[in-house]
Structure 1
Amino acid sequence: MGRSVLGVLYALVMVAVVVAVDVLFFRDHAWARLMANVGIVLVFGAFYLRFFRSV
């Protein structure tokens, strides 16, 4: 798979996780939702830099 396809798939998985967590856990809690979303993006960014940067 090419780098761009892998990047797009990774971004789609990240969006799906963010939306699922928002809907399942933080529907009515705006600040908790924002903090969870930032945390999820930071974790995905760290995994990307650690494992997929050299691909």
Structure 2
Amino acid sequence: MSYPAKMENPSSMSRHLAIVLYVITMAAVIVGVDFLFFRDRFWERLAVNIGIVLVFAAFYLLFLRRS
């Protein structure tokens, strides 16, 4: 007899959803900046993409991470 998997805490599920939405937003910003400004410039595009990821990571660590 098989029992359903244990449900996660609702606050934990909403936290996972928030993180997924945060990553999707970061990817959308990266793709948007790539296509609007740096279509044919590889090194500038790479540097800006790394910068965007670092800004998103810093914002996450400063404001969104819970102890």
Shorter-chain TM band? over 0.9
The alignment's TM-score, normalised by the length of structure 1, stands at 0.95
Residues 1:36 and 2:48 are matched in the alignment: yes
Q: Give 1:3 shift.
A: 1.0
Equivalent residue number for residue 27 of structure 2: 15
Unmatched runs of 5 consecutive residues or more in structure 2: 1-10
Question: Going by fraction, where is helix more abundant, 1 or 2?
Answer: 1
Report how far residue 54 of structure 1 moved.
Answer: 1.6
What is the one-letter code of the residue matched to 1:14? M
Using CA pairs under 8 Å that are at least 6 residues apart, name the structure with larger relative contact order, 1 or 2: 1
Say what the alpha-carbon RMSD is for the aligned residues.
1.3
Point out where structure 1 has 5 or more consecutive residues left out of the alignment.
none
TM-score, normalisation: structure 2? 0.78
Matched, 1:4 2:4: no
